[in-house]
A and B are shown apart, each in its own frame.
Chain A
């Protein structure tokens, strides 16, 4: 079975597992990916919410601070960002929007934006989002990532509003969050995996683990004919033959399926 078939099975299975709260199952774990605990069907906590809560307004609850890092670190050292590619429901959503963003690539403006020299630097925004909005601003002024989180809007605000019509009224953060949510939708339709590339705070925590994770993608350069089929198919826009455990790689395996020389493979405990 090709990796992409296995991947869709994994993504559907994890989407169902992440939503067992619909059956009344609630746990004290943090998701090892980005998903909102305010979703009516959520069964675990958002790791970013736990981090924010631990440092809110000058406090420091060490257990709550370390716990999400321990979960993400354990998952990260085993499989790096594979959870982004194989498990994350928001990654799954972006997988479904990627055919549109690929088609839009032929329009020169979007193509130029994707290849602009500033683009690699934009990828650092996700580290700014996790340190700035999940740690520093909650600690100093009580402003949290979740106040404007588009994923909270998608998986929390919208379903709760549908399930309880007239039961809730907007807060002062609603309209700024709505604007950010609209930008999020535009982003994921115009840039393939745009959220993962530039903004995902959980991806930012997992990304450094790619450098040391047991599971990683290896390119056999001796077999590589430099056809660039792997780089063209890569949803994260990585130059695969030269990536060498790139923090951006989500280990989706598309490059492995695509390589005509079978020069790319998953490597495990080696």
Chain B
């Protein structure tokens, strides 16, 4: 065997072995799928979503509300913020979120916490899709009402009246909310949160979580 062939075989074994080992023994495949392929990269498209603040009952086709959302909804509205590790718009928005909820966290954290706002309890959920469970990641698609697919995504789930039934009712907004200043962003987020609280208080008496 000549020297080049030995080098070729060694380099091939090194790279293919690394690739095979990573696919077999690490979660890198899932990480790339859920963190890159399935997330619209707003940096790549140099655009930010323009979304309407609009509550709806319609979740993504064929899906139910997430279990963790329905559990928390018994206690009050649920506010979820979705992000990924590398997301400049998320970095811009998170100080505003922390300010509104007075909850402080690192970008890698995925957690939920009940926060009292205006004598109501609101469940604040922070989901970093690079460090979340499959159920938490999937919930992003359920509430992606405009099929944007990108982060940051902010969703508030409350209760609404729909043809004789009280049901989960939600609104989702995206990116930097197509607003230029942190003040405007905070005002919009605060508005959506207070709308969610009002709707919840109006409808909680008729809500049966088992229906």
Contacts and interface: CB of A to CB of B under 8 A. Distances in A.
Interface of A: 21, 26-30, 36-38, 42-46, 49-50, 52-53, 56-57, 59, 61, 63-64, 66-67, 69-71, 73-74, 76-78, 142, 144, 146-147, 149, 152-153, 156-157, 160-161, 166-171, 173-174, 177, 212-214, 269
A42 B37 contact: yes
B64 interface: no
Given A29-B29, A70-B18, A77 B36 contact: no
A76 B19 CA distance: 13
Contacts of B27: 63
A160 B42 CA distance: 11
A38 B8 contact: no
A144 B43 contact: yes
Contact of B45 (A26, A64, A152): A152
B36 A45 contact: yes
B61 to A, nearest CB: 12
A27 B37 contact: yes
Given A44-B37, A56-B86, A70-B19, A28 B28 contact: yes
Contacts of A144: 43, 86
B15 to A, nearest CB: 3
- What 7 pairs between A and B have smallest CB-CB spacing? A73-B15, A28-B33, A28-B29, A38-B44, A168-B47, A70-B19, A45-B36
B66 interface: no
A125 B15 CA distance: 26
Given A27-B37, A67-B28, A160 B45 contact: yes
Given A53-B86, A64-B32, A214-B8, A45 B37 contact: yes
Contacts of B33: 26-28
Contacts of A142: 88
Contacts of A76: 15
Interface string B48-59: 111000000000
A146 B50 contact: no
A169 B179 CA distance: 10
Contacts of A157: 44-47
Contact of B46 (A29, A69, A153, A269): A153
A49 B7 contact: no
A153 B45 CA distance: 6
Nearest to A172: B46
A63 B26 CA distance: 8
A42 B149 CA distance: 13
Interface in B4-32: 4-5, 7-8, 11-12, 14-16, 18-19, 22, 26-32
Nearest to A138: B86
B84 to A, nearest CB: 8
A89 to B, nearest CB: 15
Given A53-B86, A173-B43, A212-B4, A26 B50 contact: no
B133 interface: no
Contact of A73 (B11, B45, B146): B11
A74 B16 contact: yes
A212 B12 CA distance: 10
Contacts of B45: 38, 152-153, 156-157, 160, 168
B85 interface: yes
A98 B201 CA distance: 65
B38 interface: yes
A169 B26 contact: no
A46 B32 CA distance: 10
A63 B31 contact: yes
Contacts of A59: 85
Given A53-B86, A73-B11, A171 B42 contact: yes
B46 A170 contact: yes
B46 A37 contact: no
A146 B33 CA distance: 18
A54 to B, nearest CB: 9
Contacts of A46: 36, 44
A52 B50 CA distance: 26
A37 B44 contact: yes
Contact of A174 (B11, B47, B146, B178): B47
Given A67-B22, A74-B15, A169-B50, A26 B37 contact: yes
A38 B11 contact: no
20 contacts: A28-B28, A37-B41, A38-B41, A46-B44, A49-B44, A63-B27, A66-B22, A70-B16, A74-B16, A77-B8, A78-B12, A147-B43, A156-B44, A157-B47, A160-B45, A169-B47, A169-B178, A171-B48, A173-B43, A213-B8
